Structures are given as C-alpha cells and as structure tokens.
Structure 1
Amino acid sequence: MSDRIEQLADRMTLQEQVAILSGEDFWSVPAIPRLGIGKLRVTDGPNGARGGGSLIGGIKSASFPVGIALSASWNVGLVQEIGAALADEVKSKGAHMLLAPTVNIHRSVSNGRNFECYSEDPILTAEMAVAYILGLQGQGIGAAVKHFAGNESEIERTTISSEIDERTLREVYLIPFEWAVKKARTWGVMNSYNKLNGIFTSEHNWLLTKLLRQEWGYDGIVMSDWFGSHSTAGTVNAGLDLEMPGPTRDRGQKLIEAVNSGAVSEAILRQRVVAMLRLMERVGSLDDNRPFVEAANDRPEHRALIRRAGAEAAVLLKNNGVLPLRGDGTIAVIGPNAKTAQIMGGGSAQLNPHYRISPWDGLLDALGEDQLRYGMGCTNHRFEPLLHGKFAVDYFANDSLSGEPVFTTTQEEAQAFWVGSVAEGKVDPSHFSARFTGSFTPEASGEYRVGIYAAGFGKVFVDGRLLADAWTNWVKGRTFFEEGCDEVVGTIPLEAGRSYEIAIEFATKPYSNLGISAFACGIGLPLGDDAIVEAVRLARNADTAIVFVGRNGEWDTEGSDLSSITLPGRQDELVAAIAQANPNTVVVLQTGGPVEMAWLGSVAAVLEAWYPGQEAGNAIADVLTGEAEPSGRLPQTFPVRWSDNPAHSQDREVYPGLDGKVRYEEGVFVGYRHYDKTGTAPLFPFGFGLGYTEFELSELHVDDSEFEANGSVMVSLTVANIGARDGAAVVQLYVSDDQASDPRPAKELKAFRKVQVTAGEARQITMTLDARAFAFYREKARHWLVESGSFTLRLGLSSADLKLTAKLQRNTTLMLPV
C-alpha cells in the first residue's frame, strides 16, 4: 500500500470515509474536494461501454461480440485484444471502471444471461476472464468481474438462495473468480444478487473475506450489484466495500451511526476505505478532476477488430460442401434475422450502437444485389414490434396524471427506461406519471396486435379506445429485470393509410426492488401463411437458400430465463419448408445458446453466429463467402432436447427453483460432464466445430518427470493442416482420474491452444498442466488432493473427438492447501 493512501485515509473525517463507500448517483462515487480526491466513475459492459446513459438511447458506443461468442473463439489473445479496445471505449465515456466480465457458468441451457457468460466449463471461462481483464487493466481501466457467486439463472435472482456444496463451488463455479484474482489481479469484484446457501452474497463473510481475501489474497474492492445491498453493518463487516448505486440506502448516516455504536469497528471501516482509495489510485480517478465528457468515438480499428472477432466466433456445425459460397448463382436470403441485425443480448449489457450491419447488408456488400432475393418468411419477436414516431410526452408530479404537467418533451419511440433523475428532476423518480401521445399510420390493412409491458402501470389507447391494459390487474412477470409485467396484448382492425391517434399512460408502482420505472409499447401485423409460401417460392427458384433464424435480445436477456430452446414462432416450420424446397439450404443461427434442431438432417449447412456485435452482417458474410475461416468451437454443449441438459429435473427445486431455493443437485457434473456421466448423446458436443480445412494431430509426447514431485506435466504434439486452405485448430486437453476415490467426471478440460496453421504446414505446440489439473477438492479435509494411481490425458479437437491419449502414474498422494 502506498504512503499516500495511508495518509489520505488518516486525514479523512468519518463522514468523508463513509461517503466513498457508496455511490453518489447511478454511475459514480463522490469526490472529496477538500482532499483533492476525484470522482470515480463506472460504466456497464461487458460487450461495450455504454456510459452514463439509460439502457435505451443515449450516447452511441461500439458494440463488441457478446461473451459466449468471445468464448467460442477459444482465442485468449483475441479476447485480450478486445479487453484493451474496451479500455479505450471506457475512457471515451469518461469512466474508470468497466462492470465486466461476466463469468457465471452455463449451468442450464435456458439461462437468459448465458449469452453474456463464457461457457459451461470453468477452465475455458477462467482463461477468457483472465485475458479480458489483462487487456482492460493493462490500459489502466479497472475490471469488476461478476457475479460473485452462484448466479446461474435469472429466475427470482434477487431473492433466491443457490444451494451449492463447497466442492462444487470450488471445482466449478469459483474457478473463474479465483483465476481472475490470482492470475489477472482484478481490481474489482461485483457480488451477485442471490443468496448463497441461505446468506445474501453481499453479507457473506466466508465468501467475501475468508475465501476471497484471506485464501486468495485479493486486495481489490467488492461492490454490490445495483441495489444488491441489504444491510449496513452486515455488508460492511462481511467484506462489501462499495454499495451501488447512489444515493445511498444502507450507508451514509446509517453507517456513521453503526460506527459510533460499535456495530462496525473503526478498523473494519478503514479496511474498506483503504480498498476504495487503492482502487482510485490504480484507475487514476484519485487525481482525475477533468470535466466529465462522454464521446461517441467510432474508431476504424475497433470496427475491424469487431468484424474479425465476430467471424472467428462463428461455429460451423454442419456442412455438406455448400459452404463457402461459390460466388455465382442466385441466393434466396430468408428469415426474420436476415434484414434485422441481431448484435447483442438484452439487459444491462445493451447499449446504443454506432450502427448495425444486418446479414442482408453484409451479403449485399460481398456479392452484390443481382444475386440476392429476399423473403422474411416469419417473425421471431417476443414482444410486438416497437412503435416509432414522434410522441409528445407530458410528465406529472403524481401517479394519477392529474393537474397540469410539470415537464413536457418529445421522443421518437414508444418506450422509456427511467433511473435516477426523471424529467430533468421535475418529478420524484419513484412517484410520477406520464402521458405519451402520437399517431400510427399502417402500411397494410389487417387485424393488428397492440402490446405493452411495464415496470409500473401502463395503458394503451387507439383513437380513445383502451386496447391494452397493464394497469388494472398488474401482475409481476419476466420483463425489465423481473420488475415488469409480461406483455398485455389487444387486437384491433386497422386500415392502410389511415392515421390513428395513440395515447399511452404510465404511472409508477409503489415499490420497485431495483429503483427503475419503464415501459415499451408495440404494434404489429402478424405474418400469415402467405409469407412462408412466398419464401418457399424464392428458395425453390434459387441456387442456394440461406435462412437467418434464431432469437434476439428480447429472448436472451437479463431478468428472464427461456421457457424452451425451440426456435420462437414459426421458424422451425420455415426452415423445414425451405429445406424441402431447396437441397442447398444453409441455416444461420443467431442465439445466446443452444436450440433444438428437428430439421437438422434436411439442411445442407448450419452456422451458429451468436450475437457478434455491430459488424454482425459483415462478419457472417465473411464466413459464408470464405473470406474468413469458421474457426469457432462450441463453448456449450448443444443437447438434442431441453430435457437432456444437466439442470433438468422433476424436482422444481433443482430448476427453476422452489420456495426460495435452487439446488445444484448435479454437483460437479455440469455441461459435457453430465452428458458423459449419463451417456446422453448431445446434438453437438462441447468444443465441436467444423472448418473449411482439416487437421491431424500426432506425435504426442508427455514429459512427466516432475509429476511425482509436484504434480506438473508438459505435453507436446504436432498439429498438421492436411486440407487445402489455411485455418485454425483448437487443440483441447482433458484429464481423467482413472480410479478416483470420490465421484469425478469422466474427463475435464484442463488446457487448450488455438493454433493457426497454413495449408500443408505442421506445427508443434506445448501445453503445461499443474497439480490442480489433477486434483479434486475434499470438503471435510479442506484441501485439494491429487491421488495416487493412474491418470489419462486425452487430446483432440472436441470433447467427443479425442484420438490421442497418454497414461500417467503417481505413487503418492499430493495435498494442496486452499
């Protein structure tokens, strides 16, 4: 610790010390002008830096590939490069810390936030996290790795208790955080909302102090997730340094009184203050007294990086030779994601991108318009399409829309997300109402659907007629971080070309757990059978059909798990119909995780493109045309059906949770470990992915000269590109304990390397394993144990393609303390 930090802590009054332990507003910690301490600012990530604006609109930012896409690249160098680029983005928003990365494990295939996380495997997740943090903090921007710990679903996430035994915690769910602390030296950790074994993580002394600080040696800060603190003395004593956001609810005067009464000791308070000052020194905010400025810097180098990363993340799941496209012949471009750029998931990770390149845009630029034909076929939206237009907005300083408005403005869409100051401070954010008035002119006649969902109370009127009422019988649903109701929809016949008056009324609810108010209103005309018929006609008359299907940020979102992993709407029907019409049908999926594929056997190719950021269409087109090699590999197993996945159970307490608990009954057998244990064949295995070339692994050599002494092993092998194109192989190394005394997975990923190999070239690579790669955790003894006996190393190109093996033998046990 620097002398300056000690001196500042000594000079601070109790009020000043307490002030920097909670937010001043939604995105900052207050300055202490008397001591020259500048304001610390944070911004949401992890696939960009949104800045201080709302989730909707605001200043524009670069949109990078989401977490699952980065992990699908299996390229730690690329992820570190992205971390460094994100540091530039954070600086452009006048901030010092990025609330990222998200490293929770893909326990189930239906977690709405899987898109934001890396993998079902702790080692792959940990490697990605370390690379991301090193890139970010190498440029002086702090990381806040999240969510610590046990937040693997979005159902009742602010109250539910994740019931996880210590062995499972240490072997699976804590490893990414442990590596973030020990290998990347992260400066920040964000606690999760949930309870862990009955105790809120923000008050969990074992988690925040004994494990994190005393065992792992962590010297950064722990901040609450937004509104994730529940007490004063309880959180401070447990190890929570910073309560966010501000203004404070649990600290401030309450904390001063807790110190004065002895409920919080001066020594504990000083530890929290010193941790905050150390963070401020590391990120430079301690001396940052510049005017606060946010800039929308659309950097060419970031555009290029996003495009390259998006292409490298794409996973080719099937290909009968139709890809890469030959560059001649007509192409039917079909599907709801063809002309809509699905670039990111929903929730706190979303931002206002500089631009969005759709797959249609990308193909148009790559191939020209003469080759392309377009048909939508069907829709895949969860909510009715957002209503756009010019709306007059009147705000009222009450929840009944009564009296004269206290503030009037205009906006261009029928949605709002209010946090912090509302109506330029003219109303109380927790007690106001608003009326939006505008018009809608349909392009076609038909029976339209009008929908609204709100964190608050909402109504929609069309020409004075109440069409959708999310007010009278409001019921909490799965929107707006579980603070909103599900969409309420009404129908009305509308005539093409006629203007209809739209009025939307909104009022705050008496209580919001996360301090937000929001609504969204949409109007849509459902597509009928004729849209599929037209798409089939286009496909039948084309040489190749490419169907762009999947989900979007309405489905893959914070605050809401998926109810199934079938494609929403009529997309499965569309794919099957197109495949029947054209044998050269390529399916491009954009999802935040697995989907069921009943049509798999009838299509020529399948490409999983995830949500690859603002360059989505260009990255996808690069892969389809062969400008880029599809070198992505699955970071999550794709099951045949939802019920095959590890969290499936007849017991609701296992998933989605029951009576305030969700029990991780599968223990360490998560992801591919579950499929190995049960003998369940997946649709596509963990680590799988095809390319436009082929690789062969050979000449395995294992140096186990140090294995008996310290548990370390060095593995080398040759990777040969035996195809006609340059490409990248992802070599995966799994370890099996052949005669374990405790139940262990059949194999566990312990190392990997992504290696670029030109056509006809052979390269030798080396990977190193330490003792932890062979150990399991013994809860009662409180140590990691490498047992005596035999181990098998398995190497290959996916978890189901491990052709190289080697045996190791230990004659003694090795105990590793925590």
Structure 2
Amino acid sequence: MKYRDLITKMTIEEKVSLLAGKDFWTTHSIERLNIPSMAMADGPHGVRKQAENGDHLGLVEGVKATCFPTSATMANSWNVEICERIGQGLGQEAVASNVNVLLGPGMNIKRNPLCGRNFEYFSEDPYLSGKLAAAYVRGIQSKGVSACPKHFAANNQEYLRMTNDSVVDERTLREIYMTGFEIAVKESNPKTIMSSYNKVNGEYANESEKLLRDTLIDDWGFNGIVVSDWGGSNDHVEGVKNGNHLEMPTTGGDSDYQLLEAIKKGVITESLVDKRVEEYLDVLFSVQIQGEHQVNYEEHHELARKAAEESIVLLKNNDTLPLKPHTKISVIGDFAETPRYQGAGSSLVNSYKLESTIEVISDYELDYIGYVQGYDRIGRADSNKINDAVNLAEKSDVILLYIGLDDVNEVEGYDREHMKIPENQVQLIEALAKLPQPIVIVLSCGAPIDMLWNDRCDAIVHGYLPGQAGAKAILNVMVGKVNPSGKLSESYPYEYKDLSNYNYYPGLEKTSEYREGLYVGYRYFDTNAVDVRYPFGYGLSYTSFEYSDIKIDSNSVRFTILNTGDMQGSEISQLYVGKKSKAIYRPLKELKGFKKVYLEPGESKEVVIEFDDKSFRYFDINTMKFQVEDGDYEIMIGASSRDIRLSGTLYVKGVEVIRDTNISKRYFSGDVQQITNEEFEGLLGHKLPDADWDRTKPLGLNDSLTQMTYAKSRLARLAIKILLTLRKRSFKKGKPNLNILFLTNMPFRAIAKMSGGTVSMEMVGNIVTIVNGHFFKGTSRLIKSWIWLGRRG
C-alpha cells in the first residue's frame, strides 16, 4: 500500500468520511494528517464553479468562465487537436478556480434525437465519441487536475433517469455504449469517472461489480476513482463494495453511518474500505493545486471562436454563400439578438462574455439594413412579428434567418416529445419563402430536428450550440473568411418514424429496452438503405476534394486527397469497415478512423489512417472477449457514410465463428423496428424483466416520485399533481423549472441523498409509509427518526 502508514493513523470514522462528500461540491479533509479536500465542478464545455450553497442544476449562478462550444458541436469538427486545446483551456480555468476535478466530458451515445441532454454528448458513434473525449481528458489533465468522463454507462434518456433500467444485450453494450469509454480510459487515463444514475440490466451502475471492477479495472486497466452522479448512489455500502470511491453530494454523515454499521455487521470489511481510501488518496494527492493561477479570458474567447469555426456544418448552399461584399442583408430571428449557444442544466456556464449577431455584424463588409425578432421565443403565434419580418426582408438582397430549438427543448431532466422546431418559426419560414430573396437559415440546436422546410431556403448554416463566441464564427463562415469544414457527427432522418428505436424510446416506466441492438444511427440507416435528409459525416465546403490512389495493407489504408477548387479548405476523410458474415450480424459499415486534412487550392496530400484494435473486432458473448472473425473485410474511404469515394478488400486472419441460432434473422437483415419479445430475448440470452410498474404493490425507496400518481395516499397524489402542473407551467413560460424536473424524475431515496443530511434514509422510509396510505403510522415514525437523527448528529 502506497499510503499504508497514513491510513493506519486514521480512525475508522475518518476513513469512511473520505468516501462521501463534505458538502455539495467538496470532499472531507483530515487536518491532523494533512489530508486536503478535493473540489469539483461541472465542466463539459465550461467551468461551472458555484458557491458552497450551490446546486446541481445551475440555479445558483457560477463564477465567470469561458463557454466553449458544447460537445455536440465540437464533435462536428472531427478535430482531435482542437478538442485537446479546449481541454487545456478548461483545465487552466479549473486550476484558476481551485477546482481539482472537472466533471466532464459527457460522452453517452446519442441513441435517439429526443434525449434532452444530447447537446452534452458527442455522437451516435462510439469511435468518434471516444477519440474526442480522450482528447478533452488529455487536455484537462495536462494542467494537473482531473477530468471525469460521464455517465458510465448506457445512460441514454432523461425521463426517469434515476430509476430506469437499461435492458441491453452484452454485445451491444460493449460495442456501442462502452467502447467510447474504453477508448477514453486507455488513451487518456482519466483520474476519475462518473457512474450513471440508471440501472444496467438490473443493477445500479454505481454499484455494479461488472461495470466498475470487471470492466473498468480488469479489462481496461483503469487506475482512478469512481464518483457517483449527484444523488445517484442507491446503496453506499454496495457501491463501496463493488468499486465506487466517492458518493456525492454529502448526506450529512448518514452514508458514513451506514458504512460503519456494515463494517460492524461484517457486510463489508475494513480492509476493503482501506483499499478504497488508498485508491482515493492516490488521486487526491495527484490533483492538488499549488499557488495562484491567472487566465487570459480573451485568448480563451478566441479559442472558443476558432473551435466553433471548425465545427460549423454547411448543410445546403445554392450558390448563395459566401456572401459578397456589400450584400444588402436583413437579419431576422430572436436567436440573432439573444443567441442559443448552450443547453440548460448542470452544464450551464456563466459566460465570461457573449457575442450576438446584432452586436458584431457591423464588423463585416455587409450592408446591414436592420433586424426584427420574427417570432416569439417560446412558440406563441404572432402575425405582427411575421409581417414585420416580411416588410424588412423585402428591402434586402439576402435574408439571414436565425432559428432552431427553443430553450425548453434542450434541457437536463427532460426529453423532447418530437423532433419539430416551434411552429411559429415554421410559419415565419413559409412567409419569407414567398419572397424572391434567397434565404440563409442559421440553425441553433444540439440534436437532429425535423426539417420539412428544407426546400424553402437556399442555404443552411448549422452552428449547433457554438458557445460564447459563436456569432462571429458563423458570420466568418457566411462571408467566406472561414471555409466551413464541419461534418455531422449524427444522422438527420427525414422523419422520427425512420429511426431504428422509434418504437422503443423512451422507456416509459421500469425499463428502457435496446431492442435495436447495434443498429444506432447510420448503422441502421445505411444497412437498410433508409433515405436520410443528411447522413452521418456529411458537410459541404466552398471548395471541392478529389480522392484517389487507395492502398491497403495489414497496418493501414493510404490514399490521396486533392483540393480541386479555388479556395483553401479542410476535408474530413472517414474510414469505414464492413464485413459480410453469415455467422454474426453486423451493420453494413462502421466508422473505424478519420483524418482532417487542410489543403491549399490545387494541393494534394497522402492521408494515412492506421488500423487499430477496434478496426475488425466484435464482442464474443461466449468467451466474453473481443474477437476478430476470420475473412475478408471491405475497407471504405468516404466523405460521409453515404459518400464512399474509395474502397478495397483486406483479408484479416481471425477465429472461425459459429452462428448463434437464437439470434433472429431480423438482426442479420437490419430490419429491427418491430422486434418481438421472443426475438429480443434471443439476443439478450434471458427473459425480459417486467417493463411496467406494478400498481398493486406499495411504493418503495427506489420508486420515482412520479409514481405517486397511483399512490394510496390522497395527499401524495395531490402533491405529484401539483408538481406536474408546475412543471407544465414552467415550460409554457419558456423557462423549465430544473428543480421540479429533478424531483419528478427522482426516486424517494434521492430525498435523503440530495438533502445534505437534513433527511436520513430512515426518514425517507417513513415518508414512503405515509405515501402508501399509513399516515399516522408513518408520521409517528418520521418524528422519531427525525429526533434520532438530531441526537446522532
């Protein structure tokens, strides 16, 4: 033991105190032994450090920090180097704010466009997600603090996220939902990882030996610590036993008491607690900050702008862009004045500065004739605003129209109900489309949307959620100062019903069933030849690129890219690998590498993309290991998943595979929208768990507050009715109440986990007794447990 002498000097009470938070954001210190505390802050795209009385959801304003583009935006850059530079910026600002652990990046797979937190995640593809996340981690940790990739694992919906059970077969779990984390762990050695709220196949992620010990430690060689998501610890004893090191936030000593009692009863040994403390101390001492540090926020603002420029995707262009000097332009749309540049929830950054289009447009050689709001931000119809927009647009040569998802549709704790943008924005598009002037649409959103209005405009510039410097970045692209080079990190379907998991998302009660298996995003669309509006990896440029001269050997694929246009630009070339197999089912193609290359007009470069241990593998559920199937593989180089420019064949020596007859032929064909219970059970290898709440049984600690809709207590039913009504009203006002969103999704046990010690788990049990219709019994016991808590404290 590295810290054996130090640990032997601790009392058992001091040991267990280190495994739970001191308050909302910091851990305990032990002054007599010179053991410091550790401060944490949210940080996927900006440091959100709050005061001691802070909260998890951004209700208390954090210190000023740079708001970089969100992860969903940066994924469109496909640029590992710029992501690492952003990580360095985040790490530097964390150090300056005395933050030891920055909680990010978020890297869950974008399984479905409706997930309310998609803006925090990179991609529908695990390889791209893992490579970019690893870059963030390297950058953050280069400054001496810890990154914390999250949320491990299979956390793909916000609705009932703290009680939902992700039912997913082992192969899909390993290949789609864990590969990104594997890449991040192996390539960047994060010091901490955050476990997710949900269950995975019946076990809470935060107390799963399979996830935290077998996979993280034994398979991947992780040597850091696991932190629970805030309020996401179900059973602290089981968590510590199976690999969790730190429960956050504080429970005011209640969790310490539970751990001490478990040691006394022999449920867990003190030697195992010593091991967790040893692992915790190793990270704690490695992230201590010495001295004072300053940040040049203006430099970081320019870095945020550069990052946004790298990530902007030009989806459509009928020769309208780039705008010529002195083009007479009208600017329409509320987002031009009050930009949507980040999502809402625990990642909300208090930006050091913020640019808007209206403020900076005078810096450009354009004849700007004016701005009108055009639509009500929260979706109310207003014909006067539309008329004002039309009147202004008529006087211009080109219309710049800023639209996208409103603030209530991309928020932690809530999933969208559909893919549409607000109807009043669509009405505005239709009205302007009647004019002869070309329309350039500037989109702001962190996930795919329904674009039935696509043919009503002449150009579409997608900025996603570009951070505090996004306004100038977008204008730089529109005037041609910057040649757009971003490409989509997710597919844009024509309609929501085109998705593979259209019938399975979200899980509405106890479970979320991943019946589509491996067929997420382009893996489904391309295998089934489903038309999409914009494919994975797609993005236009102001120049053109020619691919040629492919050479394939056992180590790599080589090819040449030539810039055939008259403007410098960057091209993102993508390596896809496919194999026709009768033994195991496979998508038509899967991303296995990429390179972003800058080229001057007429310049050509040879591009080399090396194969790695992810290139040809599949997860074998019989050996519980990754294997390579013997045979020929198709090697494809594309400008997108649907634009394959070069291809060839490579024989790879591997193992012979015998087909599992339990796997339905639907998985081999990719026709997975109507998978039956029997077919899914064949893939899972076991019977399906119950998906529905049992409304005949009393509610328990792990049931959600939402389930009070059928509680026996009339008072409980009234309470949840009020909460749901307040939630609905907040959405109508355009400002979702994040506390209410958290409450309606959380289980009863989280009352204790998030109350800072004012409510014990025993008290919550008594509250549940009241909810189940035993008012006097529960109230009497609640009072007694409250008195006992006071005495214990």
Superposition TM-score tier, normalisation by shorter sequence: 0.7 to 0.9
The TM-score, its normalising length taken from structure 1, stands at 0.78
Secondary structure of the residue aligned to 2:150 is strand
1:799 is aligned to 2:641: yes
Secondary structure of the residue aligned to 1:346 is coil
CA distance in 2 between counterparts of 1:359 and 1:141 reads: 35
Give the equivalent residue in structure 1 for 2:714: none
Give the equivalent residue in structure 2 for 1:562: 416
Give the counterpart letter for 1:666 in structure 2: E
Secondary structure of the residue aligned to 1:554 is helix
Secondary structure of the residue aligned to 2:214 is helix
Task: Report matched runs for 1:485-524 at 5 Å.
Answer: none
1:132 to 112, 129, 136: 136
1:621 is aligned to 2:488: no
Alpha-carbon deviations, 1:91-136, whole Å to 9, x = none? Answer: 1221111000101001001111111000000000001011000111
Give the equivalent residue in structure 1 for 2:630: 788
Give the equivalent residue in structure 1 for 2:405: 551
CA 553–810 in structure 1, closer or farther in 2 if over 3 Å, else same? same
1:694 to 544, 548, 551: 544
Give the counterpart letter for 2:401 in structure 1: V
CA distance in 1 between counterparts of 2:219 and 2:595 reads: 29
1:764 to 606, 609, 616: 606
Secondary structure of the residue aligned to 1:773 is coil
Q: How many residues align?
A: 651
CA distance in 1 between counterparts of 2:582 and 2:41 reads: 46
Give the RMSD, CA atoms, in angstroms.
Answer: 1.7
Give the equivalent residue in structure 1 for 2:50: 52
Secondary structure of the residue aligned to 1:803 is strand
CA 803–166 in structure 1, closer or farther in 2 if over 3 Å, else same? same
CA 811–371 in structure 1, closer or farther in 2 if over 3 Å, else same? closer
Shift of residue 20, structure 1, vs aligned partner: 1.0
Alpha-carbon deviations, 1:139-192, whole Å to 9, x = none? Answer: 111011100111111011011101011100110000111112111111111010
2:156 to 152, 176, 199: 152
For the Cα contact (< 8 Å) 2:592–2:614, is it kept in 1? no
Give the equivalent residue in structure 2 for 1:376: 373
For the Cα contact (< 8 Å) 1:772–1:784, is it kept in 2? no
1:209 is aligned to 2:213: yes
Secondary structure of the residue aligned to 2:592 is strand
CA distance in 2 between counterparts of 1:123 and 1:284 reads: 32
CA distance in 2 between counterparts of 1:687 and 1:561 reads: 25
Give the equivalent residue in structure 2 for 1:666: 516
Shift of residue 771, structure 1, vs aligned partner: 4.1
Alpha-carbon deviations, 1:572-609, whole Å to 9, x = none? Answer: 11112212213411000000111111221131100110
Shift of residue 552, structure 1, vs aligned partner: 4.0
Shift of residue 68, structure 1, vs aligned partner: 0.7
CA distance in 2 between counterparts of 1:576 and 1:90 reads: 46
Task: Report matched runs for 1:289-438 at 5 Å.
Answer: 299-367=297-365, 370-381=367-378
Shift of residue 365, structure 1, vs aligned partner: 2.4
CA 681–24 in structure 1, closer or farther in 2 if over 3 Å, else same? same
Give the counterpart letter for 1:538 in structure 2: L
For the Cα contact (< 8 Å) 2:630–2:652, is it kept in 1? yes
Q: Which runs of 4+ in 1 moved over 3 A?
A: 247-250
For the Cα contact (< 8 Å) 2:527–2:589, is it kept in 1? no
CA distance in 2 between counterparts of 1:527 and 1:809 reads: 60
CA distance in 2 between counterparts of 1:809 and 1:279 reads: 44
Give the equivalent residue in structure 2 for 1:223: 227
Give the counterpart letter for 1:240 in structure 2: N
Shift of residue 12, structure 1, vs aligned partner: 2.0
For the Cα contact (< 8 Å) 1:785–1:814, is it kept in 2? no
Shift of residue 811, structure 1, vs aligned partner: 5.2
Alpha-carbon deviations, 1:730-764, whole Å to 9, x = none? Answer: 00000001225111000000000011111110011
Task: Report matched runs for 1:54-133 at 5 Å.
Answer: 54=54, 55-56=58-59, 57-133=61-137
Deviates more, 1:10-19 or 1:104-113: 10-19
CA 249–533 in structure 1, closer or farther in 2 if over 3 Å, else same? farther
Pick the structure with more strand per residue.
1
CA 740–557 in structure 1, closer or farther in 2 if over 3 Å, else same? farther
Secondary structure of the residue aligned to 1:784 is strand
For the Cα contact (< 8 Å) 1:545–1:582, is it kept in 2? no
CA distance in 2 between counterparts of 1:74 and 1:811 reads: 31
CA 334–245 in structure 1, closer or farther in 2 if over 3 Å, else same? same
Alpha-carbon deviations, 1:388-413, whole Å to 9, x = none? Answer: xxxxxxxxxxxxxxxxxxxxxxxxxx
Shift of residue 317, structure 1, vs aligned partner: 0.2
CA 94–812 in structure 1, closer or farther in 2 if over 3 Å, else same? closer
For the Cα contact (< 8 Å) 1:84–1:138, is it kept in 2? yes
2:491 to 620, 637, 641: 637
CA distance in 2 between counterparts of 1:666 and 1:329 reads: 49
CA 812–352 in structure 1, closer or farther in 2 if over 3 Å, else same? closer
Shift of residue 47, structure 1, vs aligned partner: 0.7
Shift of residue 298, structure 1, vs aligned partner: 5.7
CA distance in 2 between counterparts of 1:175 and 1:772 reads: 9
Secondary structure of the residue aligned to 2:335 is coil
CA distance in 2 between counterparts of 1:553 and 1:356 reads: 17
1:271 is aligned to 2:275: yes
Give the equivalent residue in structure 2 for 1:464: none
Task: Report matched runs for 1:181-200 at 5 Å.
Answer: 181-200=185-204
CA distance in 2 between counterparts of 1:320 and 1:747 reads: 31
Give the equivalent residue in structure 2 for 1:727: 569
2:621 to 774, 779, 787: 779
For the Cα contact (< 8 Å) 1:379–1:569, is it kept in 2? no
Secondary structure of the residue aligned to 1:674 is helix
Give the equivalent residue in structure 2 for 1:20: 18
Pick the structure with more helix per residue.
2
Shift of residue 646, structure 1, vs aligned partner: 2.5
Structure 1 gaps of 5+ residues are 383-525, 705-712
Secondary structure of the residue aligned to 1:252 is helix
For the Cα contact (< 8 Å) 2:155–2:196, is it kept in 1? yes
Alpha-carbon deviations, 1:308-335, whole Å to 9, x = none? Answer: 1111111000001111110213111011
Shift of residue 527, structure 1, vs aligned partner: 5.6
2:505 to 655, 660, 669: 655
CA distance in 2 between counterparts of 1:757 and 1:153 reads: 40
CA 596–25 in structure 1, closer or farther in 2 if over 3 Å, else same? same
CA distance in 1 between counterparts of 2:409 and 2:641 reads: 29
Deviates more, 1:722-731 or 1:266-275: 266-275
Secondary structure of the residue aligned to 2:486 is coil
1:177 is aligned to 2:181: yes
CA distance in 1 between counterparts of 2:296 and 2:386 reads: 38
1:9 is aligned to 2:13: no
CA distance in 1 between counterparts of 2:383 and 2:360 reads: 28
Structure 2 gaps of 5+ residues are 658-793
Shift of residue 250, structure 1, vs aligned partner: 5.0
Secondary structure of the residue aligned to 2:133 is helix
CA 61–812 in structure 1, closer or farther in 2 if over 3 Å, else same? closer
Give the counterpart letter for 1:679 in structure 2: A
Deviates more, 1:572-581 or 1:790-799: 572-581
For the Cα contact (< 8 Å) 1:380–1:569, is it kept in 2? no
Shift of residue 251, structure 1, vs aligned partner: 2.1
2:169 to 162, 165, 170: 165
For the Cα contact (< 8 Å) 2:526–2:642, is it kept in 1? no
